[in-house]
């Protein structure tokens, strides 16, 4: 992460940012620090979310560097310079990058503002999906296929996994919440601040207003997630799917309901523990690896009436994964905690297309696409997806290695280095 980029940053004339997840935007200010001064293209919501996420990470990186005794990855001034290079573009508009070279962004339904890119010259066109959403999403329109590219670089994060049961996710969520709240204890939901938190708020609000779950206090206890939710609200009218826009016109605010408190200040967060009876707490970090959820877990996990609801991927070794795997004791913020609470995992809330979603996305890019290049995730999942694209769709699918160079000419793709 700290090493120099393997190319000369000052020679790059344009940067295209597909979405604001940290594994995509995280090193943009470093590129600026190494000399990049071209234009940075992205959608408007991606710009707002990137500004927030980078502002949040600068302090964390400074602290990490101080502990390691090294120079920070980048500083505030690099973030500011990066932000000053941004040019926002809407979905669907062809943007000229140079003589006979242009691109267009399309919705991928992954997170707010997320986009794929289709590049075009006179004799070739290339699509890059970046992360593809788990369509249909509750909030965002379905990912749009790239139907005018000869070759497509397709993501393969869940290329070998069927991760979801989207049809049952809401009834299962409702029944699990009902059961948990009946016990009278706290329900803790560790959630990543972007997309997952907003889905949770939206669905809890829906269930409460339909009286399908009892009215109990709900806390969004994360300053970052509160700010992200504000950005979701700002762009809901233009970026959410049609039927949700109808709801928005009727209700005015999709992420607020009578029993919700947004606790930005630490004092307000600390007051949550004094509220007796059933309650729902949504807080970061998503894998219980820090943040305010740790504080709630230290207090609530020993309580047999409490419930921990896991709604996202938990990396091996993370506290969230240990809890998911049934740990009876866990170390959180340096404290040993006994686990008597119920721990449940809910499926169907992933923001990534799974193996069938990826295959049907690839199919929707035919007949123009003649070659797929599968990247991202484990090499085994990229190979699995490539095999399925080849077998089921009858087109060429490649798993490129790092640092390889391919040439695309018409519908021919060949490795040149």
Q: How far is the CB of 21 from Zn ion (least distance, A)?
A: 4
Distance CA 38, CA 134 (A): 33
Residues 50-109 that bind Zn ion (CB under 5 A): none
Smallest distance, Zn ion to C-beta of residue 70, A: 27
**In the complex with Zn ion, which residue's Cβ is closer, 166 or 352?**
352
Give the footprint of Zn ion on residues 332-391 (CB under 5 A): none
Give, as ranges, the residues between 130 and 159 that touch Zn ion (CB under 5 A).
131
Residue among 105 and 177 whose Cβ is closer to Zn ion: 105
Question: Is the distance from CB of 324 to CB of 343 less than 8 angstroms?
Answer: yes
49-65 burial code (b ≥16 CB/10 A, e <16): bbbbbbeebbeebeeeb
Sheet holding 396-398, edge to edge: 95-98, 101-107, 115-120, 125-128, 151-155, 371-375, 396-398
CB of 154: closest distance to Zn ion in angstroms? 14
Size of the site for Zn ion (CB under 5 A): 2
> Do 104 and 146 meet the contact criterion of CB atoms below 8 Å apart?
no
Q: How far apart are CA 80 and CA 268, in angstroms?
A: 31
Task: Tell me the closest approach of the beta carbon of residue 152 to Zn ion, in angstroms.
Answer: 18
- Smallest distance from Zn ion to CB 143, Å: 12
Smallest gap from Cβ 56 to Zn ion, in A, equals 16
CA angle 288, 283, 226 (to 5 degrees): 140
Cβ of residue 332: shortest distance to Zn ion, in angstroms? 27
User: Looking at residue 284, what DSSP letter applies?
Assistant: S
CA dihedral sign of residues 332, 327, 381, 358? negative
Q: For residues 35 and 54, what is the distance between their CA atoms, to the nearest angstrom? A: 18
| C-beta atoms surrounding 410 within 10 Å | 11
Span of 128-136, 172-180, 212-220, 226-234 interacting with Zn ion by CB under 5 A: 128-136
Q: Quick one: which segment of 17-25, 206-214, 293-301, 317-325 binds Zn ion (CB under 5 A)?
A: 17-25
Q: Decide whether 16 or 280 has the Cβ nearer to Zn ion.
A: 16
Q: Which stretch binds Zn ion (CB under 5 A): 15-23, 78-86, 216-224, 286-294?
A: 15-23
Q: How big is the chain, counted in residues?
A: 417
Q: Which stretch, 125-133, 178-186, 222-230, 237-245, contacts Zn ion (CB under 5 A)?
A: 125-133
When the beta carbons of 46 and 176 are compared against Zn ion, the nearer one is 46
Minimum CB separation of residue 389 from Zn ion in Å reads 21
21 touches Zn ion (CB under 5 A): yes
Comparing CB distances to Zn ion, the nearer of 21 and 292 is 21
Does position 195 interact with Zn ion (CB under 5 A)? The reply is no
Pick the closer one to Zn ion by CB: 78 or 131. 131
Report yes or no: 91 and 43 within 8 Å, Cβ to Cβ: yes
- Provide DSSP, 88-156: E--TT--EEEETTEEEEEEE-SSSTT-EEEEEE-SS-EEEE--SPP-SSPSSSPPPPP--S-SEEEEE-
Contact present, 113 and 44 (Cβ < 8 Å) = yes
317-295-312 Cα angle (round to 5): 45
Q: Among the candidate windows 99-107, 124-132, 140-148, 213-221, which touches Zn ion by CB under 5 A?
A: 124-132
Q: Which stretch binds Zn ion (CB under 5 A): 21-29, 62-70, 318-326, 400-408?
A: 21-29
- In the window 262-321, what residues touch Zn ion (CB under 5 A)? none
Min separation Cβ 110 and Zn ion, Å: 6
Would you say 25 or 281 has its CB closer to Zn ion? Answer: 25
What is the C-alpha separation between 287 and 314, in angstroms, rounded? 5
Q: Which is nearer to Zn ion, 21 or 355 (CB)?
A: 21
**Site of interaction with Zn ion (CB under 5 A):** 21, 131
């Amino acid at each position: 992460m700290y090493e120099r980029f393997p190319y000369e940053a000052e020679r790059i004339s344009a940067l295209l940012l597909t979405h604001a997840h940290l594994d995509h935007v995280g090193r943009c200010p470093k590129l600026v620090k190494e000399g990049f001064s071209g234009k940075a293209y992205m959608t408007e919501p991606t710009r707002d979310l990137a500004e927030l996420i980078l502002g949040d990470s600068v302090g964390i990186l400074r602290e990490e560097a101080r502990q390691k005794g090294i120079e920070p990855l980048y500083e505030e001034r690099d973030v500011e310079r990066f932000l000053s290079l941004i040019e926002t573009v809407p979905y669907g508009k062809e943007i000229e990058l140079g003589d006979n070279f242009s691109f267009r962004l399309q919705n991928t339904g992954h997170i707010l503002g997320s986009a794929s890119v289709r590049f075009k010259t006179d004799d070739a066109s290339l699509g890059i999906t970046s992360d593809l959403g788990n369509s249909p999403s509750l909030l965002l329109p379905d990912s749009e296929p790239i139907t005018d590219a000869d070759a497509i670089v397709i993501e393969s994060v869940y290329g070998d996994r069927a991760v979801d049961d989207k049809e049952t996710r809401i009834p299962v969520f409702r029944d699990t919440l009902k059961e948990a709240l009946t016990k009278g204890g706290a329900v803790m939901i560790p959630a990543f601040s972007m997309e997952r938190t907003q889905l949770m708020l939206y669905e809890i609000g829906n269930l409460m207003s339909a009286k399908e779950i009892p009215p109990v206090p709900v806390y969004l206890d994360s300053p970052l997630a509160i700010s992200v939710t504000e950005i979701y609200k700002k762009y809901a009218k233009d970026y959410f799917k049609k039927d949700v826009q109808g709801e928005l016109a009727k209700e005015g605010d999709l992420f607020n309901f009578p029993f919700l408190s947004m606790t930005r200040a630490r004092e307000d967060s600390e007051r949550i523990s004094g509220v007796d009876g059933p309650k729902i707490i949504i807080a970061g970090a998503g894998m219980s690896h820090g943040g305010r959820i740790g504080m709630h877990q230290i207090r609530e996990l020993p309580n047999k009436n409490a419930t921990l609801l896991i709604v996202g991927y938990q990396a091996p070794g993370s506290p969230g994964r240990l809890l998911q795997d049934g740990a009876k004791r866990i170390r959180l913020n340096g404290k040993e905690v006994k686990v008597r609470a119920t721990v449940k995992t809910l499926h169907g809330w992933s923001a990534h297309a799974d193996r069938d979603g990826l295959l049907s996305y690839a199919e929707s890019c035919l007949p123009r696409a003649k070659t797929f290049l599968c990247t991202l995730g484990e090499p085994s999942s990229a190979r699995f997806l490539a095999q399925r694209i080849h077998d089921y769709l009858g087109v060429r699918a490649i798993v490129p290695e790092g640092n390889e160079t391919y040439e695309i000419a018409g519908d021919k793709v060949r490795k040149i280095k």
